[in-house]
Homo-oligomer: A and B are copies of this chain.
């Protein structure tokens, strides 16, 4: 039995417990045991920490939380061939079934039977995790470990941003949380003509500046519509990347996408969304891309190339790092919205 420390949701109530747990050493033939180096905290983990309505419906206790991580292969099942002991690996957090029509046609990221690490099964806020080899992605050791740790949300930003061509285009990003902030850098480095960001929180406005935004609009003090039109010769933007999950941000965003433009939607709304789809979407001939997860593994390949070749620097977005035992500090800072990505160092 492997004995290890892990951050566990023991009972159906707020908080976690850091405790020693046991895990069998046995591996399925296609399974890999990963020794975890770093994990990072996602908004999803915060929902589970707070034990909100969504978490209460979704999570079964006891369960180890967490899904974003980087680690080293510690052991492999008898049939594993994609990675070997000692490899540094990051991981898809969406575990595909491999059998549904989506999986068999190269679209595992929309698998009909997805299982999510730390949500549908034990996660990675622990010293070890077992995952099927299909989700692992070996990375170059030249990628800084703190960037590797956030490659999963970085992949979300890439997947959202690259759904359409950005070079020479005007782009609006609604929401500059950690993923929105990463998308700013991606859009800039993909050659966007102008990257405009709408974001009300002061902390995130600063983050957006550091990531290279050309113009940041605070929707609480300024009209997003007016300012975007003014800064695009009245044409509006070619592309909207919606990353806020805020209804008004989305509607204002649609309003200023130019006719024939593209919208990429990662933001999750609370409850139903209501909007004038005729006037804001259909009559304008827009296209809307629903984004979930990351393409396996096109997105990871691009992420790797961007980091390995130092095209994109994620330093400004990785704002805090704590030891695993100080996990509570990390969750508190996240809770206040006064952070980019928060890393917990496990090893």
Contacts and interface: CB of A to CB of B under 8 A. Distances in A.
Given A82-B99, A277-B273, A291-B282, A259 B106 contact: no
Contact of A281 (B283, B290, B305): B290
12 contacts: A29-B79, A82-B98, A104-B296, A106-B295, A106-B296, A110-B260, A165-B165, A167-B190, A167-B302, A193-B306, A265-B281, A273-B276
A110 B283 CA distance: 8
A257 to B, nearest CB: 11
Chain multiplicity (copies): 4
Given A29-B29, A167-B186, A276-B272, A282 B292 contact: yes
B285 A110 contact: yes
Interface in A289-308: 289-293, 295-298, 301-303, 305-306, 308
Nearest to A234: B112
Given A189-B191, A260-B102, A290 B284 contact: yes
Interface residues of A, number: 76
Contact of A298 (B105, B111, B308): B105
Given A79-B30, A286-B290, A190 B190 contact: yes
Contacts of A235: 101
Contacts of A110: 259-260, 284-285
Q: Closest 10 CB pairs between A and B?
A: A106-B106, A168-B302, A193-B305, A110-B259, A274-B274, A282-B290, A110-B285, A110-B260, A288-B288, A168-B305
A209 B102 CA distance: 31
A197 interface: no
Nearest to A268: B278
A102 to B, nearest CB: 5
Contacts of A104: 82, 137, 296-297, 301
Contact of A109 (B98, B99, B189, B285): B285
A315 interface: no
B298 A106 contact: yes
A275 interface: yes
Given A98-B82, A168-B158, A260 B107 contact: yes
Interface in A81-104: 81-82, 98-99, 101-102, 104
A269 interface: yes
A291 B107 CA distance: 21
A193 B81 contact: no
